[in-house]
Amino acid sequence: MPVQPLEEIEVHKLAEPIADKWWEIISRWKPFAQDTVGKQLIRAVDSIGANIAESYGRYHYGEKINHLYYARGSLYEAKFFARRAKQRNLVTEAQFNEMMNDLQTLAPKLNAYINSKKGQRANA
């Protein structure tokens, strides 16, 4: 079976625009907000896609799955900091809802991708 290119994997394709949307929003914040919540949020959303990519490049299934778990952890970290941004009036209700919907769309797909890798490991 041919290997699917990273750029065609659905969870990776979903993760990249999430990170880019947050970058656009946070780049307009005041320095204090950027240095506190902003940097944490950017690191979290960037880490989702980065860990999916790192998982893709790993040879052993255990390492692949671990990096996907890191991606999932970063997704939940991003949700936490998105709530902080909303609570501190750094984002609008519409921005918050869009971002949370994006993350909530990605979460079950990422879980399914993790489970598919577990299945591949079991069948290897």
Where do the structural domains in the chain lie, given as residue ranges? 6-123
Q: What confidence tens digit (pLDDT) does each residue in 11-29 have?
A: 999 999 999 999 999 999 9
The pLDDT, as a whole number, for residue 121 is: 83
| Mean pLDDT of all residues belonging to the chain | 96
Q: What average pLDDT does this structure show over 71-87? A: 98
Whether the CB-CB separation of 72 and 110 falls below 8 Å is answered with: yes
- pLDDT > 70: what percent of the chain? 98
| Residue among 57, 70, 62, 72 nearest 109 (CA) | 72
> Given pLDDT bands bounded at 50, 70 and 90, which one contains residue 2?
low
Tell whether the model's pLDDT for residue 59 goes beyond 80: yes
Tell whether the model's pLDDT for residue 1 goes beyond 60: no
Q: What are phi and psi of 89, to 5 degrees?
A: 60, 35
CATH topology of domain 6-123: de novo design (two linked rop proteins) (1.20.1440)
